[in-house]
Amino acid sequence: MRVLFIISALQEASTVFNAAAKMAEKAHEIYLLFINKGCLHVTDQELLDFKAYAKGVYYLKQECVSEGLQHSLHRMVEPIDYSGWIKLLEHCDTVISWS
């Protein structure tokens, strides 16, 4: 099963990331999409940990730029636009929105 986690807020706890990692252990394909204030995670070096279990890690380019983060975004995370977001939604079987 392909599972998309949409993370729209800065996470003080690692609950969502722990849940995603546990699902990956059960052979689910995990995709992470950071939007709104969740884009702040895309500036964090710990994203390398997310890449270990996630099949794809993305940020919504328009929103991260509007947050003023365009110069500090992690290079290993892929930017997508709104049409890319729709394609990602269509690709995944389950969507979990986390704020």
- The structural domains of the chain, ordered by start, are 2-98 (3.40.1260.10)
- Which neighbouring-strand residues pair with 94? 3
8-63 residue pLDDT tens: 998 888 899 999 999 999 999 999 999 998 888 888 776 667 778 899 999 998 88
The dihedral formed by the CA atoms of 68, 30, 53 and 59, expressed in degrees to the nearest 10: -10
**What is the pTM (predicted TM-score) of this model?**
0.90
Please, how many CA atoms are within 13 Å of residue 49, restricted to the half-sphere of its CB? 9
